[in-house]
């Protein structure tokens, strides 16, 4: 019997709906869900091949199907039962906590986890164990967007929605190769451009990406000069009278300070720092500000941005400087306008909602806020939750490398490939006395460092929810049973927590009394009451009928805050949401005085400038058909058709100056490590720069790190320098050197 199950794609933050076809315990097909408002039936090359990644031979060969334990590092792992595995884990963790305190352990989780999984992990660390040492690979993806929103708008909430693409007069795309990283959303942009040829698309990127190639205006800036560009644009807007003084006066604070800050960003200086023509700068400012028309005739501008702004040692400033432009021109809170950060992962947003990061608490509460800590303690029936800031991603692995963190629990992510400065990460994994890896795939580099491997279910096998880039919550549903002995992530956490409790760690009462993901979600929902992301008007039953935006407070589901019923019913056209699709339409912001705040941020150079020794600026990015470290997409030969191998792209002039031929092997090195791979000439890459796709790890690339260990792939080169506020590392830039490889 063919069964059809509606679910959500597990790859990117677009959050496309899928219909999974299955027979018995086998997934046999997948197609786009025509009713899902993120994609209306469309899927990209990754989403449309999802079912092939669940083929029986891939499950047999590449999945973790039973708990495994290594007697010693380097040994082959041996199969054990779940009771033995979890007892062992609980005994070891309890031992470290008793001997060294709760901060001797750390949890590193993932934006691939479902909201329910995230919630229980967060409760385990902060509630049961009493440590804020829990962070996520979402730190590498969107934490600068979080801090940028909070700094300026007062809350971590992207104010726009996908439908705004259809209303915008200008799309300002900065640091995002949307065509490859968010393909189905890009199809929507292409559709809008086809329907309305006067829609202007401006792209800002150091590299001529596919997205840049179809832009009306492309600003190929020098890496790391985004704040300079945005300040220069504001300088011009002020000069030309393109700002919205009425909006600024009514809804914002801090404009005078920002005005003083951008005074020196003259067109000459901006053009020189950014490496762009003055005319292009002026045109970008004009288009952003609504086309230079009279205030009532200005078109709305929607900016879309992603890792190019976020993965930076000044990521918060870059986000804030772009949001400044929206506030200064009144391009926010109306159809087709607003600063819209795109999330990379399928549930980076859900992780933010439940506070699954070292500096956050449930429902967008801040760890640093005593009232927020008290609220969460009350929700969980605890006297308090810890106030000591937890270690963020880079800090956590540095602490493990220093011997401060003794035990690491890693779930659904592959830090031995994806974190920057792999020499330090691998030192951390080797030095940690106990490493647990909770994973679906047995093939990740991190599995090699595990003392204990716990098999987890994955897409097509588990139930819960995710939230996409536009704050829309979708159901994830199981089409087939768990393979082998794999268990759901929330179950593993809950069973471990009960064993910790039996060993005297945590409160006497049961913090994990759940019979399924819905019970967890209901507790999360209750924690949002009165918060900016209030979802007390939603339920699993409502989500069964259609994906829903937050906020959706209790009165909204009776027609209070969302769309009209007529709008919600219009298939393929409306957002179909009971919640609020667009924020700040009334000009009020969740700040103490209700006003948005201009941020007078400074332009800062990249953390590691080019030098005589390392004269090229390396940037990294996604390929169209691959996902993260390729543990899933790498199982399919057909997804290598677009880019069969890792190559470093360089400008042909830079290659000629080094005597390099097309396809020749080169030795690419940074102060931290080296890799050897073919070079490819590309005029998309500016002179003085090099570009590498982010997906390849040590299994595909040869070379060594600074300690002489075999290379850990692309991130052998990258720097762990991070933004001081968001703690997001600068994965987008490192100084490198390229020489012809000497072959034995």
The residues that touch ligand SF4, with contacts defined as CB under 6 A, are 9, 11-12, 14-16, 39, 43-44, 46-47, 182-184
Least separation in angstroms between CB 210 and ligand SF4: 14
Instruction: Report the residue count for the chain.
Output: 744
CA 49, distance to chain mean position in Å, is 22
With respect to ligand SF4, which residue has the nearer C-beta, 31 or 259? 31
With respect to ligand SF4, which residue has the nearer C-beta, 46 or 326? 46
Least separation in angstroms between CB 157 and ligand SF4: 21
With respect to ligand SF4, which residue has the nearer C-beta, 321 or 639? 639
d(CA 351, CA 136): 8
Q: How far is CA 270 from CA 274, 328, 687, in A?
A: 6, 19, 19
Least separation in angstroms between CB 467 and ligand SF4: 13
DSSP-based three-state secondary structure for 472: strand
Please say whether the beta carbons of 632 and 12 come within 8 A.
no
Least separation in angstroms between CB 187 and ligand SF4: 9
Nearest partner of 209 among 623, 599, 574, 547, judged by Cα: 623
Please say whether the beta carbons of 605 and 611 come within 8 A.
no
d(CA 241, CA 488): 57
Please say whether the beta carbons of 323 and 90 come within 8 A.
no
Least separation in angstroms between CB 468 and ligand SF4: 8
With respect to ligand SF4, which residue has the nearer C-beta, 39 or 132? 39
With respect to ligand SF4, which residue has the nearer C-beta, 15 or 37? 15
With respect to ligand SF4, which residue has the nearer C-beta, 445 or 476? 476
User: At what angle are helices 517-527 and 370-380 packed, to 10 degrees?
Assistant: 140
With respect to ligand SF4, which residue has the nearer C-beta, 39 or 319? 39
Please say whether the beta carbons of 547 and 37 come within 8 A.
yes
With respect to ligand SF4, which residue has the nearer C-beta, 342 or 583? 342
Dihedral pair phi/psi, residue 30, rounded to 5°: -150, 145
Q: Show the tokens assigned to 374.
A: 């008290």
Please say whether the beta carbons of 738 and 670 come within 8 A.
no
Least separation in angstroms between CB 48 and ligand SF4: 7
Least separation in angstroms between CB 42 and ligand SF4: 7
Nearest partner of 358 among 297, 399, 320, 308, judged by Cα: 399
Nearest partner of 720 among 449, 427, 446, 437, judged by Cα: 427
Residue with nearest beta carbon to ligand SF4: 47
Least separation in angstroms between CB 16 and ligand SF4: 3
Least separation in angstroms between CB 302 and ligand SF4: 18
Buried b (16+ CB within 10 A) or exposed e, 687-699: ebbbbbbbbbbbe
With respect to ligand SF4, which residue has the nearer C-beta, 47 or 333? 47
Q: How many CA atoms lie within 13 A of 396 on its CB side?
A: 31
d(CA 402, CA 415): 17
């Amino acid at each position: 019997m063919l069964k059809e199950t509606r679910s959500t794609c597990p790859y990117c933050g677009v959050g496309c709906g899928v219909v999974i076809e299955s027979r018995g315990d086998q997934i046999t097909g997948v197609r786009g869900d025509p009713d899902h408002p993120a994609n209306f039936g469309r899927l990209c090359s990754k989403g449309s091949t999802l079912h092939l990644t669940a083929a029986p031979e891939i499950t047999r060969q590449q999945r973790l199907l039973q708990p495994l334990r290594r007697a010693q590092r380097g040994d082959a792992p041996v199969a054990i039962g779940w009771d033995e595995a979890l007892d062992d884990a609980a005994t070891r963790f309890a031992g470290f906590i008793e001997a060294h305190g709760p901060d001797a352990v750390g949890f590193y989780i993932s934006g691939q986890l479902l909201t329910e999984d995230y919630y229980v992990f967060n409760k385990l660390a902060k509630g049961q164990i009493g440590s804020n040492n829990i962070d996520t690979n979402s730190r590498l993806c969107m934490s600068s967007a979080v801090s940028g929103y909070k700094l300026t708008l007062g809350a971590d909430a992207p104010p726009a929605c996908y439908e705004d693409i259809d209303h915008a007069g200008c799309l300002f795309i900065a640091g995002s190769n949307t065509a490859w990283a968010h393909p189905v959303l890009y199809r929507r942009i292409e559709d809008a451009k086809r329907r309305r040829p006067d829609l202007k698309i401006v792209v800002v990127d150091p590299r001529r990406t596919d997205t840049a190639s179809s832009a009306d205006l492309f600003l190929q800036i020098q890496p790391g000069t985004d704040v300079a560009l945005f300040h220069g644009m504001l300088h011009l807007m002020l000069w030309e009278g393109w700002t919205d003084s009425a909006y600024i006066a009514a809804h914002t604070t801090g404009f005078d300070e920002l005005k003083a800050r951008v005074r020196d960003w003259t067109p000459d200086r901006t053009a020189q720092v950014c490496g762009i023509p003055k005319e292009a700068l002026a045109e970008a400012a004009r288009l952003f500000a609504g086309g230079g028309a009279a205030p009532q005739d200005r078109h709305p501008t929607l900016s879309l941005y992603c890792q190019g702004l976020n993965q930076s040692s000044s990521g918060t400033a870059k986000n804030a400087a772009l949001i400044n432009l929206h506030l200064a021109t009144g391009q926010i809170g109306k159809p087709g306008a607003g600063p819209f950060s795109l999330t990379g992962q399928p549930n980076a947003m859900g992780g933010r909602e439940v506070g699954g990061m070292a500096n956050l608490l449930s429902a967008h509460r801040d760890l640093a806020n005593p009232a927020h800590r008290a609220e969460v303690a009350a929700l969980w029936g605890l006297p308090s939750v810890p106030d000591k800031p937890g270690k963020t991603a880079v800090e956590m692995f540095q602490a493990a490398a220093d011997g401060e963190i003794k035990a690491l629990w890693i779930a659904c992510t592959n830090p031995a490939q994806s974190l920057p400065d792999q020499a330090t990460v691998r030192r951390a994994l080797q030095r940690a006395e106990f490493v647990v890896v909770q994973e679906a795939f047995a093939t990740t580099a991190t599995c090699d460092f595990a003392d204990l491997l716990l098999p987890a279910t994955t897409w097509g096998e588990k139930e819960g929810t995710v939230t996409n880039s536009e704050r829309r919550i979708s159901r994830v549903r199981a089409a087939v049973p768990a393979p082998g002995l794999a268990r759901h992530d929330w179950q593993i956490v809950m069973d471990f927590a009960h064993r910790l409790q039996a060993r005297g760690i945590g409160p006497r009462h049961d913090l994990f009394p759940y019979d399924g993901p819905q019970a967890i979600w209901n507790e999360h929902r209750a924690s949002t009451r009165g918060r900016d992301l209030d979802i007390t008007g939603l339920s699993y039953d409502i989500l069964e009928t259609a994906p829903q935006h937050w906020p959706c407070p209790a009165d909204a589901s009776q027609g209070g805050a969302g769309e009209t019923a007529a709008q919600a019913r219009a298939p393929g056209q409306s957002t179909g949401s009971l919640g609020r699709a667009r924020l700040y339409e009334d000009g009020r912001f969740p700040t103490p005085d209700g006003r948005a705040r201009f941020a007078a941020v400074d332009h800062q150079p990249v953390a590691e400038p080019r030098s005589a020794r390392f004269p090229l600026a390396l940037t990294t990015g996604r390929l169209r058909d691959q996902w993260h470290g390729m543990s899933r997409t790498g199982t399919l030969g057909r997804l290598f058709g677009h880019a069969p191998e890792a190559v470093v792209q360089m400008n042909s002039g830079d290659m000629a100056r080094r005597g390099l031929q097309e396809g020749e092997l080169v030795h690419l090195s940074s102060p931290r490590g080296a890799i050897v791979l073919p070079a490819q000439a590309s005029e998309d890459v500016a002179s003085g720069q090099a570009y590498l796709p982010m997906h390849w790890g040590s299994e595909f690339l040869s070379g060594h790190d600074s300690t002489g260990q075999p290379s850990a792939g692309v991130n052998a080169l990258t720097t762990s320098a991070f933004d001081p506020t968001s703690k997001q590392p600068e994965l987008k830039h490192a100084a490198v050197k390229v020489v012809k490889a000497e072959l034995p």
